[in-house]
Structure 1
Amino acid sequence: MMAEDGISDFGFAKRKAARQLGATDADALPNNAEIEAELRAWQALYQDEEQAERLLEMRRAAVDVMRLLGEFRPYLTGGALDGTAGRYTEVDVELYPESAKEVEIFFLNQNIRYEHREPRRPAPNTPEAILSFDWDQVPIRLSIYEGQGERTSRRHGERARLPAVEALLAADERAAAEAANLAQE
């Protein structure tokens, strides 16, 4: 489901798989690290070249978007950061502005079309708002948190500031250039 359908929420994927399999024992479900390892193995077998190209495209879009939204303290998270992004994965960027309205006003002033989505449920570490849009045909999901939320600990996964994402992108571009040179030889 995560590789083929683009589901990025581990908990949701586990619950859906458990329902489909009729599993009732939550302890029998794999942990996130086990799922991520299997996702990487699946992608290596079935989407190797496509996945590498898609990841490069997503990281390029992430760098562009993070530069554009620099004043709102962006962080890249999710599959585009950890390398598990697949065919239908959105680029996940977290923002920490003083107010979610600031971001929407910025988008309106820049004539960037977006869709406003409400977070699933109110809970700790839930964003105030979620904005979705396409950047050069790459789907982007902005999770907008309160400004002081930047300093609190995160429950899920890693996050990276722009310089770290630029370094990842540079490494990806070098690898792509080397692969292209090898293919020409």
Structure 2
Amino acid sequence: MRARDAHLARGRPSTSGAARQRVCAEAARIMAEEGVNDFQLAKRRATQRLNLPEGRNLPSNHEVEEALQQYLALFHGARLVSDLGRLRAAALEAMRFLARHEPRLVGPVLTGIVTPSSEVQLHICADTPEEIALLFAEHRIPADQGERRLRFGGDRELRVPAYRFVADGVPIEVCVLTHAAARETPLSPVDGRPMQRANQREVESLLAEPNPAT
């Protein structure tokens, strides 16, 4: 049995608990190896590949994230340290460029659980999204505009403009919030709790750590 197969099989309990753990481990492997960043998509693919009924025995996003963190540490430890440093450095440069818009780093690059397909995710403040579009245009930064759904307490959902561009080979997403919306912390898609967010000084401190992946 290959090491990765053994890792997936280790410690499986019986009945539905076993199926849940298998889905969790396979979803984590899919996210680490196949460029899937969406937890629900990874779990659906895992369920299909394991020939299990869809919608049953599904682990939480938090469980999959924990399994992903373990998988990355076990099979991609050296790459993880290198990639995380590169992504955080790119995040810091983007935050300096967007400094007047109070940028905050969120997502995997902040938590340290990054895969080869992870992107830098920033939240910024602006009076209008057009202000950010003009900023990119003035600096000749080609950026695609889309949107991102953010969840807040009280089952509220907000669709915000999101600009995506690439800097030195690193994909970066910038979500534009109004000043009023930015005063409230969005909920994490992983565990439903308020997102971790870091300002420029905090990202500088992360980059100064000797081993950022631990």
Cα deviation 1:35-64 (Å, max 9, x = unaligned): 121111111122111111000000000000
Q: Secondary structure at the match of 2:105?
A: strand
Distance 1:127 1:67, change over 3 A: farther
RMSD: 2.4
Q: Is the 8 A contact 1:99 1:147 kept in 2?
A: no
If each structure's helix is expressed as a fraction of its own residues, which one has the higher value? 1
User: Which residue of 1 is the match for residue 143 of structure 2?
Assistant: 114
User: Which residue of 1 is the match for residue 206 of structure 2?
Assistant: 168
- The whole-number CA distance in structure 1 between the counterparts of 2:187 and 2:100 is 24
Q: Is the 8 A contact 2:149 2:160 kept in 1?
A: no
Cα deviation 1:98-129 (Å, max 9, x = unaligned): 11111111100111111112447999444421
Deviation for aligned residue 1:20: 4.6
Q: Kindly, what percent of the aligned residue pairs are identical?
A: 29
User: Which residue of 2 is the match for residue 183 of structure 1?
Assistant: none
Deviation for aligned residue 1:137: 1.0
Q: Over alpha carbons, which structure has the higher Rg?
A: 2
Give TM-score scaled by structure 1 length: 0.82
The answer to which structure, 1 or 2, has the higher relative contact order (CA under 8 A, 6+ apart) is: 1
Greater than 4 Å deviation, 4+ residue runs: 120-123
Q: Which amino acid aligns with 2:71?
A: W
Deviation for aligned residue 1:167: 0.6
Q: Aligned ranges for residues 1-185 of structure 1 at < 5 Å?
A: 1-21=30-50, 22-26=52-56, 28-119=57-148, 124-156=156-188, 157-171=195-209, 174-175=210-211
Q: Is the 8 A contact 1:10 1:32 kept in 2?
A: yes
Give TM-score scaled by structure 2 length: 0.72
Distance 1:9 1:25, change over 3 A: closer
Q: 2-11 or 29-38: which moved more?
A: 2-11
Deviation for aligned residue 1:150: 1.0
Deviation for aligned residue 1:146: 2.4
